[in-house]
Amino acid sequence: MLLKNVLIVSASLALLPLAARAADLGAEVANAQMHAGLAAQGADIGTVHTHLHHALNCLVGPAGSGFDSKELNPCASDGNGAIPDETDASKRKVLQSAATTAAAGISATDFATAQHAAAQVASTLKSAK
Protein backbone atom coordinates (compact mmCIF):
# COMPACT_ATOMS: atom_id res chain seq x y z
CA MET A 1 0.00 0.00 0.00
CA LEU A 2 2.81 2.44 0.89
CA LEU A 3 4.62 1.70 -2.37
CA LYS A 4 1.43 2.31 -4.30
CA ASN A 5 0.97 5.72 -2.62
CA VAL A 6 4.59 6.67 -3.30
CA LEU A 7 4.19 5.75 -6.96
CA ILE A 8 0.98 7.76 -7.26
CA VAL A 9 2.57 10.84 -5.68
CA SER A 10 5.71 10.49 -7.83
CA ALA A 11 3.68 10.16 -11.01
CA SER A 12 1.54 13.15 -10.05
CA LEU A 13 4.61 15.33 -9.45
CA ALA A 14 6.03 14.39 -12.83
CA LEU A 15 2.86 15.64 -14.47
CA LEU A 16 2.93 19.05 -12.80
CA PRO A 17 3.70 21.88 -15.20
CA LEU A 18 7.09 23.50 -14.74
CA ALA A 19 5.43 26.63 -13.37
CA ALA A 20 4.14 24.63 -10.41
CA ARG A 21 7.57 23.23 -9.55
CA ALA A 22 10.09 25.03 -7.39
CA ALA A 23 12.08 27.72 -9.18
CA ASP A 24 15.86 27.71 -9.34
CA LEU A 25 16.45 31.44 -9.01
CA GLY A 26 20.22 30.99 -8.83
CA ALA A 27 20.24 29.17 -12.17
CA GLU A 28 18.04 31.83 -13.76
CA VAL A 29 20.35 34.65 -12.68
CA ALA A 30 23.50 32.69 -13.61
CA ASN A 31 22.13 31.87 -17.07
CA ALA A 32 21.09 35.47 -17.64
CA GLN A 33 24.54 36.66 -16.56
CA MET A 34 26.27 34.14 -18.81
CA HIS A 35 24.25 35.24 -21.85
CA ALA A 36 24.81 38.91 -21.07
CA GLY A 37 28.54 38.14 -20.94
CA LEU A 38 28.33 36.34 -24.29
CA ALA A 39 26.49 39.37 -25.68
CA ALA A 40 29.19 41.71 -24.38
CA GLN A 41 31.79 39.62 -26.21
CA GLY A 42 29.76 39.39 -29.42
CA ALA A 43 31.61 40.14 -32.64
CA ASP A 44 28.59 41.72 -34.33
CA ILE A 45 25.33 43.38 -33.35
CA GLY A 46 23.29 40.30 -34.28
CA THR A 47 25.19 38.17 -31.76
CA VAL A 48 24.88 40.88 -29.11
CA HIS A 49 21.12 41.16 -29.67
CA THR A 50 20.63 37.37 -29.69
CA HIS A 51 22.33 36.82 -26.34
CA LEU A 52 20.67 39.86 -24.80
CA HIS A 53 17.32 38.33 -25.80
CA HIS A 54 18.36 35.12 -24.03
CA ALA A 55 19.32 37.06 -20.90
CA LEU A 56 16.10 39.07 -20.98
CA ASN A 57 14.01 35.92 -21.41
CA CYS A 58 15.69 34.43 -18.30
CA LEU A 59 15.00 37.59 -16.33
CA VAL A 60 11.37 38.28 -17.22
CA GLY A 61 10.08 34.77 -17.93
CA PRO A 62 7.44 33.74 -20.47
CA ALA A 63 4.74 36.01 -19.01
CA GLY A 64 7.01 39.04 -18.59
CA SER A 65 7.32 42.25 -20.52
CA GLY A 66 9.93 41.94 -23.24
CA PHE A 67 9.86 38.14 -23.42
CA ASP A 68 10.45 37.01 -27.01
CA SER A 69 9.12 33.53 -27.74
CA LYS A 70 11.04 33.51 -31.05
CA GLU A 71 14.29 33.60 -29.08
CA LEU A 72 15.79 30.89 -26.86
CA ASN A 73 14.75 30.81 -23.23
CA PRO A 74 17.74 29.09 -21.58
CA CYS A 75 15.87 29.22 -18.27
CA ALA A 76 12.71 27.45 -19.44
CA SER A 77 13.25 24.56 -17.05
CA ASP A 78 14.42 26.74 -14.14
CA GLY A 79 11.24 28.63 -13.27
CA ASN A 80 9.03 31.52 -14.34
CA GLY A 81 11.85 34.04 -14.79
CA ALA A 82 14.20 35.54 -12.24
CA ILE A 83 12.09 38.66 -11.70
CA PRO A 84 8.77 36.92 -11.03
CA ASP A 85 10.51 34.21 -8.97
CA GLU A 86 12.41 36.68 -6.75
CA THR A 87 10.55 37.44 -3.53
CA ASP A 88 12.94 40.06 -2.11
CA ALA A 89 11.85 43.51 -3.32
CA SER A 90 15.35 45.03 -3.34
CA LYS A 91 16.79 42.11 -5.32
CA ARG A 92 13.84 42.23 -7.70
CA LYS A 93 14.62 45.93 -8.31
CA VAL A 94 18.19 45.04 -9.30
CA LEU A 95 16.95 42.32 -11.65
CA GLN A 96 14.43 44.72 -13.18
CA SER A 97 17.21 47.24 -13.75
CA ALA A 98 19.20 44.56 -15.61
CA ALA A 99 16.11 43.73 -17.71
CA THR A 100 15.60 47.39 -18.60
CA THR A 101 19.23 47.71 -19.66
CA ALA A 102 19.00 44.49 -21.68
CA ALA A 103 15.92 45.80 -23.49
CA ALA A 104 17.76 49.04 -24.27
CA GLY A 105 20.67 47.04 -25.67
CA ILE A 106 18.31 45.01 -27.84
CA SER A 107 16.78 48.24 -29.16
CA ALA A 108 20.18 49.79 -29.87
CA THR A 109 21.19 49.91 -33.52
CA ASP A 110 24.77 50.90 -32.74
CA PHE A 111 27.09 47.95 -32.06
CA ALA A 112 29.15 49.68 -29.35
CA THR A 113 26.03 50.88 -27.54
CA ALA A 114 24.45 47.42 -27.57
CA GLN A 115 27.71 45.80 -26.43
CA HIS A 116 28.08 48.34 -23.61
CA ALA A 117 24.53 47.62 -22.44
CA ALA A 118 25.32 43.90 -22.43
CA ALA A 119 28.41 44.49 -20.28
CA GLN A 120 26.28 46.53 -17.85
CA VAL A 121 23.71 43.74 -17.63
CA ALA A 122 26.44 41.17 -16.92
CA SER A 123 27.93 43.39 -14.22
CA THR A 124 24.56 44.10 -12.61
CA LEU A 125 23.70 40.40 -12.53
CA LYS A 126 27.09 39.50 -11.08
CA SER A 127 26.33 41.80 -8.16
CA ALA A 128 22.85 40.29 -7.81
CA LYS A 129 24.12 36.80 -6.98
User: Would residue 123 count as lying in a domain?
Assistant: yes
Classify residue 43 by its DSSP letter: S
- Residue 116: give the domain boundaries: 24-128
Would 10 be classed as within a structural domain? no
Average pLDDT of the chain?
88
**87 in helix, strand or coil?**
coil
Whether 102 and 121 have beta carbons less than 8 Å apart is answered as yes
- pLDDT category at 128 given cuts 50, 70, 90 is confident
105 occurs within a structural domain: yes
Question: pLDDT band at 5, cuts 50/70/90?
Answer: very low
Query: Mind listing the pLDDT tens digit for each residue in 49-93?
Result: 999 999 999 999 999 999 999 999 999 999 999 999 999 999 999
Q: Does residue 11 fall inside a structural domain? A: no
Q: Between 110 and 15, where is the model more confident?
A: 110
Evaluate whether residue 13 is within a structural domain: no
Domains: count for the chain: 1
Q: What is the pLDDT of residues 28-43, one digit of tens each?
A: 999 999 999 999 999 9
Q: What phi and psi, each to the nearest 5 degrees, are found at residue 79? A: 155, -155
- The answer to whether position 17 is within a domain reads no
Contacts of 75-81 spanning 24+ positions with Cβ under 8 A: 75/27, 75/28, 75/31, 75/32, 76/18, 77/18, 78/23, 78/24, 78/27, 78/28, 78/31, 79/18, 79/21, 79/22, 79/23, 79/24, 79/25, 79/27, 79/28, 80/19, 80/23, 81/28, 81/57
